[in-house]
Chains A and B, each alone.
Chain A
Amino acid sequence: MNGIETKFYNAFIAKDRWILYFKGLGVTLEIAVIAGIIGIIIGCIVALMKLSEPKKGRKHTIWWYIATVYVDIIRGTPSVLQLLIMWFIVFSSSNNGVLVASLSFGINSGAYVSEIIRAGILAVDKGQMEAGRSLGLTKGQTMREIVLPQAFKNVLPPIGNEFITLIKETAIVGYVSLSDLTRTASQISSRTYEAFMPLIGAAVIYFVIIKILTLLLEALERRMRRSDLR
């Protein structure tokens, strides 16, 4: 056996190590998916808080202030630090690591998603809301039937981007000793004294997953654009 084959064997085949990569990938995806869902829920709520209409004579609603403070804090601090705070301070007694990490990433992602959704809603032509209101529809009805579906189409590409970023960002859970894909690869490399194969292997896995996701998003986007076509 020559060198490369041995390295490949040690990195993936020996002691059924390939299973570890897939377990790591499982942890990565689990955190990303749960965090993504939490992020979208928080993002929607925060976006609506930011867009809530103040009473006459006031500049902003109380909701706007709460939402703004949240977004400022999240965007103003490193996500690794947020994770460490959640892990060692807020949920120090929890033993469900994946859930704590998901929550931390979800709260982080929510701030970015809320700005994406807010921009998506504002990008819908004002005339659409006016037309709905002029027919006697309420603001809520017009939002649900007309504005939000169009906003959804606007936000799909940036939300897809955000989710892709999220998948990669979960690699920092190694800081709190969760065995995601990145940490698994680095642990295997320290076991085999050989970095190339495990690290490149992990990179390829990330790349393939994200490429598949990108293709799915593009297909979905094409379907959503149907009503723009002649």
Chain B
Amino acid sequence: MISVKDLRKTFNGQEVLKGITTEIDKGEKVAIIGPSGSGKSTFLRCLNLLEEPTSGEIWFEDKLITDPSVDINKIREHMGMVFQSFNLFANKTVMENITLAPVKLGVMGKDEAKEKALELLRRVNLEEKADVYPASLSGGQKQRIAIVRSLAMSPKVMLFDEPTSALDPEMVGEVLDVIKGLAESGMTMVIVTHEMGFAREVATRVLFIDEGIIMEENTPDKLFNAPQSKRLQDFLSKVL
């Protein structure tokens, strides 16, 4: 579904991604782990071109999206993204947050979008928050709504950029539960995370990114139980 070839990204002369090549198949749940500053978030943000790669190719369903002639907005409609800092639209109510993109982009009519939004909100137990502004929500509620906002576009793949890193510990569970449920429904997902337990439980494959390359990748079982490289062993001994 997503195919990445020799992806490189340089910020102000500093190479953050040093040639990443990987394939993400339909239905896969790929967890990306690694130390801070390793380039894992940059890699994720390159997948929907929020960060423009310096060189390399990214293919999404037979389309070369790094080609400037591709309408990236059309591609992004099919790639949901959830941010560390939620980024709910502060000037819109929860309902407006969810329905804005589907209605503006002509994916759904207003009534249909509202109905779908309510159904999704019910799934995360937040339907009573439909008419409030984001400022009145807790972090966990914001993140669940941010997930719903992405799902309202019926994406083919979901990108999660450290979805629980900005949450108070007691709220991490409620957000992970929603992501788990989504994984079980068959959604293709790429998740940058520091929650090793979660990566182990949900992921079908784990990438360990360090110093701008994929140092090691494997099934969660093998990667966590029998790390090959010294760097991964060091990393795991620190975080586990």
Contact = CB atoms under 8 A, between A and B. Distances in A.
A163 B159 CA distance: 46
Given A141-B104, A227-B135, A128 B87 contact: yes
Interface stretch (B15-23, B88-96, B231-239): B88-96
B136 A134 contact: no
A131 B153 contact: no
Nearest to B159: A134
B83 A130 contact: yes
B195 to A, nearest CB: 21
A146 B105 CA distance: 15
A131 B73 contact: no
A6 interface: no
B66 interface: no
Which of B104, B146, B149 gathers the greatest number of chain A CB atoms within 10 Å?
B104
B10 to A, nearest CB: 13
A130 B50 contact: yes
Interface string A121-151: 0000101101111111110010001100110
A137 B91 contact: no
Nearest to B83: A127
A228 interface: yes
Contacts of A133: 50, 73, 76
A127 B73 contact: no
B100 interface: yes
B179 interface: no
B224 interface: no
A149 B133 CA distance: 14
B87 A149 contact: no
Contact of A137 (B85, B92, B104): B104
Chain A interface, DSSP helix/strand/loop, else mixed: helix
B215 interface: no
B105 A137 contact: yes
A134 B85 CA distance: 14
B90 A134 contact: no
A227 B91 contact: yes
Interface string B126-146: 000000010110000000001
A15 interface: no
A144 to B, nearest CB: 10
B135 A146 contact: no
A136 B136 CA distance: 26
A130 B73 contact: no
Interface in A180-228: 226-228
B182 interface: no
B102 to A, nearest CB: 9
A135 B77 contact: yes
B213 interface: no
Contact of A135 (B85, B101, B136): B101
B48 interface: yes
Nearest to B81: A134
B74 interface: yes
A66 B79 CA distance: 39
A145 B103 CA distance: 12
A135 B150 contact: yes
Given A138-B73, A150-B90, A230 B105 contact: no
Contacts of B92: 145-146, 227
A229 interface: yes
B101 A136 contact: yes
A145 B135 contact: no
A187 B174 CA distance: 74
Contact of B133 (A127, A138, A227): A227
Contacts of A229: 133, 135-136
Interface in B20-79: 48, 50, 73-77, 79
Contacts of A146: 89, 91-92
Interface of B: 48, 50, 73-77, 79-81, 83, 85-92, 100-101, 104-105, 133, 135-136, 146, 149-150, 153
Which 4 residue pairs of A and B lie closest in terms of their CB atoms, listed nearest first?
A136-B77, A127-B87, A131-B87, A135-B101
5 contacts: A131-B83, A131-B88, A131-B146, A134-B48, A136-B76
